[in-house]
Amino acid sequence: MPPSPCALVRAAEVRAAFGGTVGAGRVDNSLPGAPTCHFAVKKSNLGIDGEAIVFITPGQSAAMFKIAKKEVPGAVAVPGVGNAAFYNPHTSAIELLEGNTVANAQGVFLNPGGPQPNAAKLKADVIVLAKAVAKRA
């Protein structure tokens, strides 16, 4: 059985990425074989509350990562994160390859009916999160 996805990052690292007050990681097993770890973020540096989500991508290999990097619409390479990484602006997530492990770091900060977070700032914050995940992936 794979280790808990909450072992990928610490609350202090989530706080370093998004600011604010960060709750303890909470494992979500709602998708069989694909546990995720959710960190609630209150009063983030993006101006709204949200959450950081991290996980090991189930069933992924280095070869499949390379295919995904080419096939995900709008994917943008992110240098300096793991062995390789790309940002998906549609999901505000970074998929990264570290050795043979594929992991994901995502920031979910939505403000229904109100102003949305600055896209460039959100991407920069997710990169900080992904760098922390890459250290333990």
How far, in Å, CA of 111 to CA of 31, rounded?
25
Please say whether the beta carbons of 85 and 131 come within 8 A.
no
Count of the separate structural domains present in the chain: 1
Q: What is the pLDDT along the chain (137 residues), one digit of tens a residue?
A: 467 899 999 999 999 999 999 999 999 999 877 899 999 999 999 999 999 999 998 888 999 999 999 999 999 999 999 999 999 999 999 999 999 999 999 999 999 888 889 999 999 999 999 999 999 99
Side-chain-side CA neighbours of residue 84 (13 Å): 17
* Domain ranges, residue 53: 5-136
Considering just the CA atoms, what is the radius of gyration of the chain in Å?
Answer: 14
* Residues with Cβ within 8 Å of residue 60, at least 6 apart in sequence: 68, 102
How far, in Å, CA of 129 to CA of 107, rounded?
9
In the beta sheet, which residues pair with residue 101? 98
